[in-house]
Structure 1
Amino acid sequence: MLAAYPFGPGNPFGIGYPIRQAADASDMEQPMIRQSDSELSAATDFQLLLTQLTGLRRAMEQAAESDDELGRSLYSALHHRMQDCDEQLARVIGHVEHNLLQQETIASALHESEHRYRSLYDNNPSMYFTLSPDGLILSVNNYGAEQLGYLPQHLIGRSVLAVFRPEDHETVLAQIGVCTESLDKLFEWEIQKIRKDGTAFWVKERAQGILDRTGRTLVLVVCEDVTARRVTEDIVRESEERWKTLFEHAGVGIAQWSLGGQFLCVNPCLCKTLGFTSTAMQSLTFQELTHPDDLPVNLRYLDELTAGMVASFSTEQRCRRSDDTWIWVSLTVSLARTASGAPAYFIAVVEDVSERKRAEDALRASELLLQRFVSEAPVGLVILDSQRRLLTANKAFCRLTGHAEQDLLGRTYDLYTHPDDLAPNLKLTDEFYRGIREDYTLEKRYIRKTGQVIWVSVKATGVGLPNHPGPLLLAAVQDITDQKRATEERERFSQDLHDNILQSLYAVGMQLEASKLASGKSPRRAKIHASQAIDQLNRLVSEVRHFIALLNRGGSAKMDLREALRQLVSAFSTAGHRPPELEIEDGVLDLITTEQAEQLLNIAREALSNSVRHAKATHRSVRLSQLGASGMRMQVCDDGIGFVPKLKRKQGHGLVNMAARAKKIGARLRLTSKPDQGTCITVDLSQTES
């Protein structure tokens, strides 16, 4: 009997199949219940199994109602299929439970991952921005907002241009546009951002355009503060520029050469010094340009430098120029090292010292010549230390003093200086060593070893000698005994000729002029003046003879100063003028020596002569008075027109001779005068000073 078993919609045997056909189908290799694969979810497999179990249960119920063999056989087959289906259902349920457990684990891990990501995002020491294509800030991490002085919520929703300088806005929008046009490509740039307080800082930005899951275009930006690096780079750049400027424009040669001696870099000054181009220099080595005699020493210095035994070294050597001539240079070399401390290259500073070397050679030759000159010089030459001890003495000085060199060295000039001249000499030497004077000239007397007294001229100045600290005194000594005598005689002859004879002739002329004026009015008075002129001429003849006799004898005779002054004032009496007034205090002449009296008389004669010729005075006076206990004062005054002493005037021999005569006797001469108030010559003589 053929019957149909209409199964439900999920019947795997197919709706309307005959039972046999269904049974046959059970023997097919294709399984009755499909296994889940990667395309079916666990829920679909579970629903399918339930549907199949329902169909099997209904089929088994229909098979149980049949009493034939076919029904029983079908029931047994369906029972086995039911068991298989139960086992698959158990596996599916276990798989579903496993999936649910995995989903819980994944959800928990995802939550934890999101928490870690958010913490990393907010606290990472980099600034993160998410921007829209038009520059709107969609998100920013806490660190980024904090660096700009904002809270994240204060930036989100604002344009990113708010944190850039206005002059950079166009550049920023262009950079965002580049990122959106080239998605997934990373771009980098450096730019300045502006904080909320207005301060600027440099950042390095890395930006990339992406599409999110919804297909929306975003720009991800990561910023790093590079202000410190930029400042360092600026410092380094400025340092490099300064070094380059120094290198290119230095007034000395600078070179870098390798450890093997190859020139790596040379500046223009070194090229000029050696006559090579920079390219030519870089094809040469240090060894090729160093004189063979100097090379071993330099190589040893370089080895010590490389070994770290010295930090640098300086030397002088000869270098070869491009024209194959040799020049002297001062060389200072140091070693540049790598970051690890390994030797990298040498740096050298080279200065041309050829001129100095030539000067030193010339000086050396000159010193040898000078030594010979000093030794053989016709004048005495000595060098004294700060204790006045002789360090050197030449042959002429030994002859001058009569002492052998070994007797003089280490001794002071007290040995041969006249006792009366020692004090002024000590004063001058002391002033030199105290820095009051740089040099001095002195005329003094030496006592030779034989006891003979000679006059010498000493010209002393400072000098320096190697290995002798402090200032030294170089003295040139010349015998001026004959010159001194001749000079004194010449000066005395000149002064006496001017002050005695010439002034006497002038006085005679005044008497003759007075006689001429009085001859028409008073013959008697004219005769008196003529007689006085004759008397003065007779005295002048006597003075000339006396002067000649003194020259022959070389000395001075004792004179009566009172009588000489009386005759002097009488000689200056003229027509219309009474003779000058003469006043001499008692005892004052006893304080004056013959030499002093002679000089005072000549000073008075010169002063009266000047007054008569220039002063237009009506009254003149000569006064000698005592000054203190042992001094005296002579004043020659008039009431003439006077003058201003400080004004520059043509100076004759008169004032010069008066000053010289006063100095010669140790007196002080002072000139006082005012316009229309007369003139006064004052000579103060202190016997202690003289």
Structure 2
Amino acid sequence: MPENLHKVKQEIYKNIFKYANGGIAIVGLNGNWIKVNDSIVNFLGYSKEELYEINFQKITHRDDLNLDLGLMDQLLKGEIDNYQIEKRYFHKKGHIIWALLSVSLVRNIDGTPLYFISQLTDISSQKSSSWHLQFLMNVIKGQNEKLKDFAHIATHDLRTHIGNLNSITEFLEEELPDIVKSENYQMLHESISNLNENLKNLTKIQVDKPKKFNALAKLSLYNYVKNAMYNISSIAKKENCQIINNVKQDIYIFGIEAYLDSIVLNFLTNAIKYRTEHQPPIIELTTSEKNEYIVLHIKDNGKGINLEENKARLFTLNGTFHNHQDSRGVGLYITKNHIESIGGKIEVESQVGKGTCFSVYFLKA
């Protein structure tokens, strides 16, 4: 009976070694391969006969070899019972593969070391994904640095130009006192004032410290719509565009001043930009309430968007869907990011030739 039990145990060990999903190897004290299973062969690309002629040091990446040998030495000295490391091997074809290596030591009855049991798990794909993610993070970090530099330069230069424009309007008022009665001059003066206010809002944004929801300001949606309409009043007048503001004056949302300026302004200018040629553009702004949101609806009668073809890339960077000379595929991408950064979301309905309605969800104040 004991002999039969021993045979059963031997058969079990043999089957575990042979059919294990991961790589299992018996490695000699000098690093030579004594016995390997098929998973090791598939992983490293060498046949069993080829592996038995070499040791693991020969196919280990040199940057990982000292760590592995040092831990093996600790095992032999009895300082540790086992160890696990991420390690690089050279495949027979020459490329690098990554393994999660687990090693334990088998000793004789008298305590003398016999051999190592090594288990190898292929983690090359996980490492590849990790490197790809790190690469993207480095790209994003670089872009953020460029964006911060651009923001500093842009606000500085804009401040200079606004100062010059203010000086010019003062000179004009001194030389031509009656000019202040001109509607166009009043529009120019008010636009410069609004531009200066927008610049002040931009400087409040700390680009290296993202805003938390509890730091958002309570803002009058009506006032921001009204200001945006005034800022593009000359464009609307030129294109014979009618903008209808049905936003109620008592509606308040949570947001960031500069972001809300940009959001409303972008939707209005887009509606005018993508107007049809056969009818004057009409833009209507309304609101509704939905759970914790105030929803701003911006509806136009423009060209419309084929959502079946373009919905997936509607808010992507460089995603354009109209052959307009000013289309860059940036505005909606930035706008969507602004909306989501203040806890909102955006939906769109559109029909080609009939117009588009963007629904922007803001947190209700």
What TM-score do the two structures reach when normalised by structure 2? 0.46
Structure number with higher relative contact order (C-alpha < 8 Å, ≥ 6 residues apart): 2
Higher Rg: 1
